Amino acid sequence: MLFQALPNDRAVLPLLLYIQERLGLWGESYRARFLFVVVAFSITVCIPKFTTTYTNLETFICSMAELVFIGNVFGGAMLLWTEYDAFRQFIEQVNSLTKHFYREDPLKEHVLQFNYLIHRYTNRYCFSVMILIMFYLAAPVITSFVVYFQSLWKSYHLANGTVRTWDISHRQFSLHMEQSFYGLQHRTNILHYTLYIAVIVPMMFVTACTVHMKVLTIASSVRYAEMLLHIVMLKVDSLPKQKSIREELHDIIKVHQRTLDCIALLVKALRPVLLLQLVFCVLIWCLMMLYFTITDGLSVKFFNIGIMFLVITIETFSPCYFGTRLSTQAVELSESVYACGWPAMDRDIQQRLRMVLHRTQSPVGIQAGKFCFVDMELFQKMVNKSYSCFIVLKDAL
Confidence class of residue 189 from pLDDT cuts 50, 70 and 90? confident
Whether 46 shows a pLDDT value over 60: the answer reads yes
Residue 273 makes CB contacts below 8 A (sequence gap 6+) with: 76, 77, 79, 80, 83, 214, 218
Q: What is the mean pLDDT of residues 372-381?
A: 92
84/269 Cα distance (integer angstroms): 7
Q: What is the mean pLDDT of residues 222-242?
A: 87
Do 207 and 73 contact (CB within 8 A), yes or no?
yes
**What does the pLDDT look like over 196-212, one tens digit per residue?**
999 999 999 999 999 99
Do 111 and 228 contact (CB within 8 A), yes or no?
no
Name residue 347's amino acid. R
93/89 Cα distance (integer angstroms): 6
Residue 335 makes CB contacts below 8 A (sequence gap 6+) with: none
Residue 391 makes CB contacts below 8 A (sequence gap 6+) with: none
Q: Where are the domains of the chain?
A: 14-130+200-291+306-396
Whether 175 shows a pLDDT value over 60: the answer reads yes
Which of 37-46, 143-152, 285-294 bottoms out in mean pLDDT, i.e. has the lowest?
A: 143-152
Whether 20 shows a pLDDT value over 60: the answer reads yes
301/179 Cα distance (integer angstroms): 13
Do 371 and 394 contact (CB within 8 A), yes or no?
no
Contacts 24+ apart (CB under 8 A), 126-132: 126/2, 126/3, 126/212, 126/216, 127/3, 129/208, 129/212, 132/208, 132/307, 132/310, 132/311
Nearest 10 degrees: Cα torsion 61, 67, 73, 75: -120
DSSP readout, 11-66?
A: SSSHHHHHHHHHHTSSSGGGTHHHHHHHHHHIIIIIHHHHTPPP-SHHHHHHHHHH
Whether 233 shows a pLDDT value over 60: the answer reads yes
**What does the pLDDT look like over 119-156, one tens digit per residue?**
999 999 999 999 999 999 999 999 998 888 877 777 66
Confidence class of residue 52 from pLDDT cuts 50, 70 and 90? confident
Q: What pLDDT shows up at residue 261?
A: 94
